[in-house]
């Protein structure tokens, strides 16, 4: 994250529990914003969803994304991220959502719905804009 200002790196650590607000554009041109749990591997923002959901369908076809990550202690301090999806996999998807559940809820178990297939997306940040 070479172009993320140092004073905002705390928003990406697991202890912060900041949500990312994922912004996408639907086929009809209308915006769609969803709060999502996320992880960060030092290079990529990692999110997880279920196959067939709106965000999955959009991310699969249109890999350009924007996210806003607000500080839970001060929502006026935030990072806007523009980037693109560079990875998509079902492998380890359930395990990854369990890891996110542990980060955000403190419990590793995540409900396993019959027939649901979890998918993980890796987003490569290209531009950061900060406030606060």
What residues contact 30, with CB distance under 8 A and at least 6 apart? none
In angstroms, the CA 35 to CA 21 distance is: 4
What pLDDT was estimated at residue 98? 97
Q: Which fold has domain 6-131?
A: Pnp Oxidase; Chain A (2.30.110)
Assess whether pLDDT exceeds 90 at residue 1: no
Looking up tokens 């994922």 gives 22
What pLDDT was estimated at residue 3? 82
Separation in Å, CA 77 to CA 9, 23, 46, 123 = 12, 18, 21, 22
What's this model's pTM, rounded to 2 decimal places? 0.94
Residues 16-62 have pLDDT tens digits of 999 999 999 999 999 999 999 999 999 999 999 999 999 999 998 99
Residues 53-107 have pLDDT tens digits of 999 999 989 999 999 999 999 999 999 999 999 999 999 999 999 999 999 999 9
Reduced to 3 states, what is the DSSP secondary structure of residue 14?
Answer: helix
Separation in Å, CA 4 to CA 14, 42, 64 = 17, 11, 19
Looking up tokens 């041109």 gives 29
What pLDDT was estimated at residue 2? 58
């Amino acid at each position: 994250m070479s172009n993320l200002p140092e004073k905002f790196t705390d928003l990406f650590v697991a202890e912060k529990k900041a949500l990312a607000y994922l912004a996408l554009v639907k086929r009809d041109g209308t915006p769609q914003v969803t709060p999502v749990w996320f992880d960060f591997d030092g290079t990529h923002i990692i999110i997880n969803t279920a196959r067939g959901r709106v965000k999955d369908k959009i991310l699969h076809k249109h890999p350009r994304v924007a996210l806003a990550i607000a500080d839970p202690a001060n929502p006026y301090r935030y990072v806007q991220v523009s980037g693109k999806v560079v990875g998509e996999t079902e492998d380890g998807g359930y395990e990854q959502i369990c890891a996110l559940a542990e980060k955000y809820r403190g419990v590793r178990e995540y409900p396993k719905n019959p027939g649901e297939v979890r998918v993980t997306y890796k987003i490569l940040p290209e531009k950061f804009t900060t406030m606060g």
